[in-house]
Structure 1
Amino acid sequence: MESLMMMETAKTIWWIIVIGALGLGFRIYGKAMTEQWRMRRRLTMQGVKGPPPSLFRGNVPEMQRIQSQTMINKHHSGDNIIAHDYTSSLFPYLDHWRKQYGRVYTYSTGMKQHLYANHPEVVKELNQANTLNLGKVSYVTKRLKSILGRGVITSNGPHWAHQRRIIAPEFFLDKVKGMVGLVVESAMPMLSKWEEMVKSREGETFCDIRVDEDLRAVSADVISRACFGSSFSKGKEIFSKLRCLQKAITHNNILFSLNGFTDIVFGTKKHGSGNIEELEKHIESLIWETVKEREKECVGDHKKDLMQLILEGAMSSCDGSLADKASSYKSFVVDNCKSIYFAGHETSAVAVSWCLMLLALNPSWQTRIRDEVLRFCTNGIPDIDSISSLKTVTMVIQETLRLYPPAAFVSREALEDTKLGNLVVPKGVCIWTLIPTLHRDPEIWGADANEFRPERFSEGVSKACKYPQSFVPFGLGTRLCLGKNFGMMELKVLVSLIVSRFSFTLSPTYQHSPVFRMLVEPQHGVVIRVIPN
Structure 2
Amino acid sequence: MEPGFSSLPWPTLLPPVLICVALFSYLYTILWLKPERLRQKLRKQGVKGPNPSFLFGNIPEMRRIKQELAKSDQEMETGTTDLFSSNYLATIFPYFLHWSRVYDPDMAKELANCKSLDLGKPCYLQKELGALLGMGILTSNGDLWLHERKGMVNLMVEAGNTMLNLWESEVEKHDGGAEVVVDEYLRNLSADVISRASFGSSFAQGKEIFNKIRQLQMLMAKQDMLIGVPGFRYLPTKSNREIWSLDTSIRNLILNIAKNHEEHDSATHINNDLLHSIIEGAKGGPLSSCTPEDFIVDNCKNIYFAGHETTSTTATWCLLLLASHPKWQSSARGEVLEVCLGNSLQADMLQKLKTLTMVIQETLRLYPPAAFVTREALNDIKLGGINIPKGTNIRIPIAMVHRDPSVWGPNSDRFDPGRFANGIAGACKPSHMYMPFGVGARTCAGQNLAMVELKVVLSLLLSKFEFTLSPNYMHCPAFRLTIEPGQGVPLILKRL
The normalised TM-score by structure 2 is 0.92
- Given that 1:87 and 1:95 are in contact with CA atoms closer than 8 Å, whether structure 2 keeps it comes out as yes
In the superposition, relative to structure 1, how do residues 269 and 488 fare at CA in structure 2: closer, same or farther (>3 Å)?
Answer: farther
* Alignment-derived partner of residue 57 in structure 2: 58
Q: Is the 8 A contact 1:60 1:259 kept in 2?
A: no
Cα distance per residue 1:232-266 (max 9 Å; x no partner): 0111111001101111111122xx446543536x6
2:164 is the alignment partner of 1:191 = yes
Out of 455, 463, 468, which is 2:431 matched to? Answer: 468
State whether structure 2 residue 133 is matched by structure 1 residue 148.
yes
Unaligned runs of 5+ in 1: 105-118
* Segment of structure 1 superposing worse, 307-316 or 296-305: 296-305
Secondary structure of the 2:348 match is: coil
| Alpha-carbon distance between aligned partners in 2 of 1:482 and 1:269, rounded to the nearest angstrom | 35
Report Cα offsets for 1:19-67 as digits up to 9, x if no partner: 3332122212222322222211211121112223335543322112112
Once the 2 structures are TM-superposed, how far is the Cα of residue 83 of structure 1 from its aligned partner?
A: 4.7
Match of 1:250 in 2: 221
* Shift, 1:378, TM fit: 4.3
Aligned pair in 2 of structure 1 residues 125, 73: CA closer, same or farther (>3 Å)?
A: closer
Residue 143 of structure 2 corresponds to 158
Question: Does structure 2 conserve the Cα–Cα contact (< 8 Å) formed by 1:504 and 1:530?
Answer: yes
Shift of 1:422: 0.9
C-alpha separation in 2, matches of 1:371 and 1:76: 38
Residues 267 and 475 (structure 1 numbering): CA distance in 2 closer, same or farther, change over 3 Å? farther
**Which residue of the other structure, out of 388, 393, 413, is the alignment partner of 1:450?**
413
Matched, 1:291 2:293: no
Report the number of matched residues.
487
Contact 2:77 2:86 in 1 (8 A): no
Q: Please list, as runs of the form range in 1=range in 2, the aligned pairs for 1:34-433 lying within 5 A after superposition.
A: 34-69=33-68, 81-101=83-103, 103-104=104-105, 119=106, 122-164=107-149, 167=150, 170-171=151-152, 176=153, 178-179=154-155, 182-183=156-157, 185-201=158-174, 204-253=175-224, 256-257=225-226, 260-261=229-230, 263=232, 267-271=235-239, 275-299=242-266, 300-317=268-285, 328-379=291-342, 381-433=344-396
The Cα shift of 1:125 comes to 1.4
Alignment check: 8 A CA contact 2:198 2:274 kept: yes
Deviations 1:263-321 (A, max 9, x none): 36x6455329x71111111111111111111112212434511111111111123889x
Instruction: Tell me how far apart the structure 1 counterparts of residues 22 and 93 of structure 2 sit (CA, whole Å).
Output: 36
Give me the identity figure in percent: 42
The 2-side partners of 1:306 and 1:17 are apart by 56
Does residue 446 of structure 2 align to residue 483 of structure 1?
yes
Contact 2:424 2:431 in 1 (8 A): yes
Distance 2:454 2:343 in 1: 15
Partner of 1:108: none
2:19 is aligned, of 14, 18, 21, to 21
- Give, as a single letter, the amino acid of the residue that structure 1 aligns with 2:117: L
> Contact 1:139 / 1:260 at 8 angstroms: preserved in 2?
no
Go from structure 1 to structure 2 and tell me whether the alpha carbon gap of 1:95 and 1:308 turns closer, same or farther (over 3 Å shift). Answer: same
* SS at structure 2 position matched to 1:473: coil
Distance in 1 between the 2:17 and 2:435 partners? 51
Q: Which amino acid aligns with 2:206?
A: G
1:316 aligned counterpart, secondary structure = coil
- CA distance in 2 between counterparts of 1:342 and 1:258 reads 19
Structure 1 residues 76 and 471, CA, compared in 2 at 3 Å: closer, same or farther?
A: closer
Cα contact 2:226–2:232 (8 A) shared by 1: no
After TM superposition, the score normalised by the length of structure 1 is 0.85
Kindly tell me: are residues 416 and 247 of structure 1, through their superposed partners in 2, closer, same or farther at Cα, counting changes over 3 Å?
same
Q: Say if 1:228 and 1:306, in contact at 8 Å, map to a contact too.
A: yes
Bigger drift between 16-25 and 394-403 goes to 16-25
Q: Report the Cα offset of residue 498 of structure 1.
A: 0.8
Q: Distance in 2 between matches of 1:49 and 1:78?
A: 29
Q: Which amino acid aligns with 2:51?
A: P
SS for the counterpart of 1:250 is: helix
Letter in 2 for 1:39: L
Q: Which amino acid aligns with 2:28?
A: G
Q: 2:121 touches 2:374 (CA, 8 Å); kept in 1?
A: yes
- Quick one: distance in 1 between partners of 2:180 and 2:69? 31
Instruction: Tell me: CA distance 1:367–1:248, structure 2 relative to 1, closer, same or farther (3 Å).
Output: same
- Provide the secondary structure at the position in 2 that maps to 1:40: helix
